[in-house]
Amino acid sequence: MNSNIDRGFAKYSDLIDNSRFRERIRALEQNPNSAFAYLHRRSLMDVIKPCCWGTAVYVVGGNSRMKRLWAESGKRLDDYSDACGDFVCIPDENSPGYVGEEPMKLFLKTCEFTESDKDTVISFNWREDHTELCRYRLRHSGVALGKKDGITVMFHQVWGGGRFAVCSLEEFASTLRETTRRTLRHYFYQPQN
């Protein structure tokens, strides 16, 4: 495992161990290759892999609920053709899947908006110029683990098909462009039990 990744898991080990989601987080830490798994192959060059939204849904135990919500919205679970990635691909209950932006918004509607940063889904948005809408949109998600030294820490998948990591919000923000950081906002949602 990458030493930077090891440092994040080690540095925030107490928060992970005190999380109600520790078993799934530790399982992903021990199985980092699940972040790179091919969930579905559309062609030789086009594969579906887990993403930040799918990982957050999995960690809080929401895979079944996510699939049910998407089906109840009138969408098929085997239709991966949306160019914007607004589909759900969750092969089983035991690992992260792919969840697009619109399905994730549906999932967050089933959660309670909260001020708590302990064992909650954290959702990020920021303004991204030169996109079709050019306004704030859901951009990233993770699981907030609480505070260490007064700073909120989260577990997340760095990008679609990217590695798992544990970092502070400041560490995450530092990976973004300066123009992005100026409009960065985050919100906490209490997932259903």
- Residues 189 and 120: beta-carbon distance below 8 Å: yes
For 118-136, the pLDDT digits (tens) are 999 999 887 766 555 545 5
Taking Cα atoms as reference points, which of 27, 20, 25 lies closest to residue 166? 25
- Residues 101 and 88: beta-carbon distance below 8 Å: no
Q: Where residue 179 falls among pLDDT bands split at 50, 70, 90?
A: confident
Give mean pLDDT, residues 48-57: 96
Give mean pLDDT, residues 13-26: 97
Q: At what angle do helices 63-72 and 52-59 cross, to 10 degrees?
A: 120
- What are the structural domain ranges in the chain? 3-190
Residue 35 or 176, more confident:
35
Taking Cα atoms as reference points, which of 59, 26, 42, 77 lies closest to residue 144? 59
